[in-house]
Structure 1
Amino acid sequence: MTNRKRTITFLIGVIFILIISSGCSINSKNKPVSKTEFVLGTIVTIQIFDNASDEVFHKVFDRLREIENKMTINRENSEVININSKAGKDFVKVSDDTYYVIKKGKYFSKLAKGRFDISIGPLVKLWNIGTESAHVPPKEDIHIKKNLVNYNNVILNESEKSVMLKKEGMILDLGGIAKGYASDEIVKIFKKKNIKHAIINLGGNVFAYGNKPDGSLWKIGIQNPFSQRGDSIGFVNVANKTVVTSGIYERFFEEDGRRYHHILDPNTGYPVENNLAGVSIITNKSIDADALSTSVFSLGLNKGIKLIERLEDTEAIFITKDFEVYVTSGLVEYFTLTDSNFKLIKRSE
């Protein structure tokens, strides 16, 4: 047996998206009140720039834990684990939360023609990327698990709010969409509590809620995919928008001198191979951005741009391995490139 040198990297923040406050100073009376906890498998930081009681933070983190308890596959029990345990056997009745997320997951799986797939669980568990047991599985194992991945085999019963996986051995994994849903649920809490200005950061899944206290736009920095130091290549000016990024540097491991990232291709069973290093989605709902960031990354530059250009109120930034940056048409005036190592490519329409 040969000794294989492996390096495993897991960035807890998933994608570091820098919140840039320069260009709009926040005076002392508008200093944010913030709270940070580890939930949904990542570091969550909530910053509120209004008068906010402890009750607001309690409601936010209680809601996040409620969502995690329903949708995780990394504990002994959850609604999704119950679905997985009865794969090929029976329907499982679930909460409105879980049913909604699975239904949205199927929608985006279809939109991406299966390049994003909420039934990717068998491959995720096989590769174990982001854990100490990450490794390159045998080809025959990949082939077997790949045949269990098909979002069309996730069966929904709308009237009963129940879900069934058609084949035994299938595994639902909502990791590519649940954080987005959680972020949107925080927005609902803020609206009920009359919060006007806040930043929601679920491990790099950012929602710029409202605008800055002085009325200007937030500047959200976009991570340099070739740096682990939190360096940004530029920033977008946004208000009431979510910014969600997927890239080859979120979670990965190295084996025999080759790097394997965590975005798996359902068609091949291996990590996606194309020229993209990172994709950031800017839109109104975080659940949409969460699913789309993985979807368009897997689709690649040309197909990804075409998909985003068809969607209303949705924009994207694509960073290639050649240090080129592409932005969709509606984002051109809101994105500023600040790193001279990268080149902004203007596309001809």
Structure 2
Amino acid sequence: MKKNWLYCAGLSAFIMLSGCDRNNQSPANAGLVMEGRTMGTFWRVSLAGVTADRKEALQKEIQQLLDSDDRELSTWKSDSVISHFNQYRGSDPQPVSDNMADIITLSLRIGQKTAGAMDITVGPLVNLWGFGPDRQPVKMPTQAQIDTARALTGLQHLHVIERVEGAYLQKDLPGLYVDLSTVGEGFATDHLARLMEKEGINSYLVSVGGAVLTRGMNAEGKPWKVAIQKPTDKENAVQALVDLQGHGISTSGSYRNYYELDGKRISHVIDPATGRPIQHKLVSATVIATTALEADGWDTGLMVLGEGKAKALALREKLAVYLIMKQDDGFTTWMSPQFKAFIVQQ
């Protein structure tokens, strides 16, 4: 890695307040806690009312489920379902799972409502700026390179087709490249929640990366609480505390995943309209929604839009949104009326 680079990634935007100390050790009253790795990040499952003798079997089942999701959604795996679709240069509909169809359908809907700010076809630009499977750039991309990559993007070129025999995905632009990293963590979190319900477990906190979902109460019989971190990569400090009340939450931030090049901080959040990393003062967008997948989709679009448009969209769509903006003397925050219902007074 070049000396003029600083790269910070794979860190959650949340602090789990389920009885664990700073060293991530679980005291006896914290319930059953399991952890692992998936999708280039970490997963965590905290359970109440589940005995330790189930841990080994549950851990194995969880990892198998997430490994399966990774094989379907990961652009970092050349043999994944989405990678095969990206490598395909034809226009014939390609069969995909119902899960894949649901993820892309929701992404297209949110993309439309954000005027294209949330764009799962932005992969060529993500790769160009060094945040995808391709090598990171050693110099700033030229405008010509950006224009070439932008020409390979566009939600209007991607279609989900539902047939009696199953779901299909179609593109009318041969080089279209779908990147589901903006919604993969949310989907996997929801998938974990469905697994817990299938196993008869109804009190849990599940998370993959920056997406979290809860049900029921923790091992102390109290609501699961999640703390939104202050927008810094140097400390674990609480910005706000929320009780999810059975909902999902996800945060998109420009302060966790970046590098420095030629004296400039390059954010992983790419604006599809310009083909460049965002440069506005909105540094964090948190969304609470019925599912973690939906929250994960909205937060990226809001981050791209910036403060003014994000506020207007949150109010228009009645979204539960919490924004953090950088100011000269620190940070300022804003929350929608719907978000206030989840805030825990500290």
Is the structural similarity TM-score above 0.5? yes
* 1:41 CA drift (Å): 1.5
* 1:171 CA drift (Å): 0.4
Where does residue 247 of structure 1 map in the other structure? 253
Asked if structure 1 preserves the Cα contact closer than 8 Å seen for 2:250 and 2:288, the reply is: yes
Q: Give 1:131-210 correspondences, 5 Å limit.
A: 133-135=136-138, 136-159=140-163, 160-210=166-216
TM-score after normalising by structure 2: 0.88
* 2:84 partner amino acid: N
Q: Deviations over 1:140-191 (max 9, x none)?
A: 1111111211011002221151112211221000111121111111111111
Q: Secondary structure at the match of 2:107?
A: helix
CA distance in 2, matches of 1:37, 1:309: 37
Asked if structure 1 preserves the Cα contact closer than 8 Å seen for 2:47 and 2:218, the reply is: no
Where does residue 42 of structure 1 map in the other structure? 41
> Which segment drifts farther, 141-150 or 198-207?
198-207
Of the candidates 10, 16, 19, which is equivalent to residue 19 of structure 1?
Answer: 16
Where does residue 302 of structure 1 map in the other structure? 308
Where does residue 256 of structure 1 map in the other structure? 262
Structure 2: gaps spanning 5 or more residues:
20-25
Asked if structure 2 preserves the Cα contact closer than 8 Å seen for 1:79 and 1:98, the reply is: no
Q: Deviations over 1:111-159 (max 9, x none)?
A: 1110010111111111113787245212211111112110110022211
Of the candidates 110, 115, 127, which is equivalent to residue 125 of structure 1?
Answer: 127
Q: Deviations over 1:24-65 (max 9, x none)?
A: xxx976432222211111111211122151333322221111
Asked if structure 2 preserves the Cα contact closer than 8 Å seen for 1:93 and 1:161, the reply is: yes
* 2:340 partner amino acid: V
Where does residue 287 of structure 1 map in the other structure? 293
* 1:11 CA drift (Å): 2.2
CA distance in 1, matches of 2:235, 2:223: 25
CA distance 1:10–1:165, shift in 2 (3 Å): farther
CA distance in 2, matches of 1:28, 1:121: 42
CA distance 1:130–1:225, shift in 2 (3 Å): farther
Q: Deviations over 1:46-85 (max 9, x none)?
A: 1112215133332222111111101111112111111111
Where does residue 225 of structure 1 map in the other structure? 231
Asked if structure 2 preserves the Cα contact closer than 8 Å seen for 1:82 and 1:92, the reply is: no
Asked if structure 2 preserves the Cα contact closer than 8 Å seen for 1:10 and 1:130, the reply is: no
* 1:268 CA drift (Å): 0.4
Where does residue 110 of structure 1 map in the other structure? 112
Aligned residue pair count: 329
CA distance in 2, matches of 1:208, 1:310: 26
Q: Deviations over 1:74-101 (max 9, x none)?
A: 1121111111111344321112221221
Where does residue 343 of structure 1 map in the other structure? none
Asked if structure 2 preserves the Cα contact closer than 8 Å seen for 1:116 and 1:291, the reply is: yes
Asked if structure 1 preserves the Cα contact closer than 8 Å seen for 2:116 and 2:272, the reply is: yes
Q: Give 1:61-80 correspondences, 5 Å limit.
A: 61-80=63-82
Asked if structure 1 preserves the Cα contact closer than 8 Å seen for 2:76 and 2:132, the reply is: no
CA distance 1:209–1:161, shift in 2 (3 Å): same
Asked if structure 1 preserves the Cα contact closer than 8 Å seen for 2:233 and 2:256, the reply is: no
Q: Secondary structure at the match of 2:61?
A: helix
* 1:125 partner amino acid: N
Asked if structure 2 preserves the Cα contact closer than 8 Å seen for 1:87 and 1:166, the reply is: no
Of the candidates 315, 322, 326, which is equivalent to residue 317 of structure 1?
Answer: 322
Where does residue 90 of structure 1 map in the other structure? 92
* 1:259 CA drift (Å): 0.3
Q: Secondary structure at the match of 1:321?
A: strand
CA distance in 1, matches of 2:233, 2:71: 33
Q: Secondary structure at the match of 1:158?
A: strand
* 1:282 CA drift (Å): 1.2
* 1:243 CA drift (Å): 1.8
CA distance in 2, matches of 1:252, 1:202: 20
CA distance 1:228–1:242, shift in 2 (3 Å): farther
TM-score after normalising by structure 1: 0.87
Structure 1: gaps spanning 5 or more residues:
339-349
